Amino acid sequence: GMIRTREEVKIPTSWGKLAGKLWPSQYPHVHTAKQTGVLMLHGFLDNAASFDPLIPFFPQDMTLLAIDLPGHGFSDHYSEKSSYHHFSLVSDVLEVLRYLSWEQTVLVGHSMGGLIAIHIAGMLPNIICKLIIIDIIYVVSQPYRHISNFMVSKYEEERKPQKEKIYSTREEVVERIIQGHVAISRASAEILSTRACREENGGLVLTRDIDIPKPLFFYSRYLLWQVMGQFIYDSVTMPALFTIAEDSYQYVIYKNMQKDNIKLSPTSRLEFG
C-alpha cells in the first residue's frame, strides 16, 4: 500500500503537552470536524510507536493519532507531587478528545491503554463509535488484603533512591526494553526505542518518567476493577473487539474471568491470536 505521511504533534492539556504521531487523512476533503478519527493508546511504559506496525491496515481516508500518554515517550511528565493514577490518565485522554473535536472516534487501546479506552467508551457512548482492545481483559478477583500487601511491597521498593541510568548506545536501550517486557520481539523493541530515549550528558536516557510505577498507580487500577468488574463491561454499548494473544498472561486472566462469571457486553466480540 501507499506510504502515509506522518506528523509529530503536541496537544495542549490543562497541565502540559502530550506528544503524538498523526497520520492525516489521505483525502483532504475529509478534513472537517465531521470526520471519524482513530485515537490509539499504548501500554504501560510503552509509547505511541507501539502502533507503527498497524498503521497500514487502517483505511487511507481516516485520520490516525497515536499519543504518548503522560510521562511516556515525548510527552510531558506530571509534577513530582502528582501520581499516575488511572483516573488522571482517563481525564487527560478526555482532554485530548475535546481538543480533537472529532464527531466520531474509534478508540484503540493496548494493555494499560485498553483499560483507559474501555472506561472512556463507557463514559462517551455517543462519541466513541468503535472500540478495539488489544491484549487486556481485566478483572482482578483478589481480596482487599492482597491489594494492601501489594501496596506495601511497592512502597518499600519506592523508598530505594532511583537514579536515571545513562545508556551509551541505542542497542542497550533496546535490550532494556526487551528485559522490561514479558514477551516482545527485537523488532518491536527497536520500534519502541524510537521514542523511548533522548540524548543527554553524552549518552541516552529513557524518556519515560521514573516515577510512574508508584503504588497508587497499581492500587487505583486493582481496586477499580475489583469494584467495577461487570459494570465496566456492561457499559460498552458500541461494537467492540477484544483480542488476546494466547501466549500472554492476559489469556490466564481471561480464564479466571470465566471462573468469576464475568461476561462481555452483547456488542463485544472476543478473538484469540
Burial bucket for residue 36 (CB in 10 Å: 0-12, 13-18, 19+): middle
Separation of alpha carbons 242 and 190, rounded Å: 26
> Which residues contact residue 112 at a Cβ distance below 8 angstroms, ignoring those fewer than 6 apart?
41, 42, 43, 44, 69, 89, 136, 221
Grid coordinates of 131: 472500540
Task: Count the Cβ atoms, other than its own, within 10 Å of residue 102.
Answer: 20
Q: 157, 138, 135, 154: which is closest to 146 by C-alpha?
A: 154
- From 50, 111, 188, 268, active-site residue: 111
What is the enclosing helix (H) or strand (E) of 22?
strand 17-23
Q: Quick check: is 83 catalytic?
A: no
The phi and psi torsions of 88 (rounded to 5 degrees) equal: -65, -45
Grid coordinates of 143: 481480596
The total number of residues shown for the chain amounts to 273
Q: Detail the DSSP E strand segments found in the chain.
A: 7-12, 17-23, 36-41, 63-67, 104-110, 128-134, 197-200, 203-206, 240-244, 268-272
What is the enclosing helix (H) or strand (E) of 41?
strand 36-41
Grid coordinates of 271: 478473538
Catalytic residues: 111
